[in-house]
Amino acid sequence: MTGREVQLLHLVVLAVELDVLGRSCAIALNRYDMPVLYVPRGTETLKIKAELRGEQWFYAWGRSPSNRIPVDGRAARGIAATVAAP
């Protein structure tokens, strides 16, 4: 699998997990850029990417390093909580 394919796979898994939690989302594919998961949050939309840092995958949004969650079974709940935050 290519890096882009792994990114997409992680985003699809996250999208399914968010759907189970009742959160809307959409995956955008662009031939020349990495896949992105869009999650509505109030009047804005989180743009979530899957990124490889060292040997570990993370979901990341925004510019702050604190806006990063390891790709694991708890990620969807963490992102759902972030989306629900005011």
Q: Give the full edge-to-edge strand order of the sheet including 44-53.
A: 26-28, 36-41, 44-53, 56-60, 68-70
Q: Transcribe 8-51 into DSSP letters.
A: HHHHHHHHHHHHHTT---EEE--TTS--EEEEEETTEEEEEEEE
- Give the per-residue pLDDT at 78: 86
The CA distance from 46 to 72, in Å, is 19
Residue at token pair 């020349």: 32
Report the pLDDT averaged over residues 7-12: 96
- Give the per-residue pLDDT at 73: 82
Ranked by mean pLDDT, the top range of 30-34, 46-50, 66-70 is: 46-50
- Report the domain count for the chain: 1
- Give the per-residue pLDDT at 60: 94
Domain assignment of residue 74, given as a range: 3-84
Report the pLDDT averaged over residues 39-46: 90
pLDDT higher at 14 or 66? 14
- Give the per-residue pLDDT at 85: 64
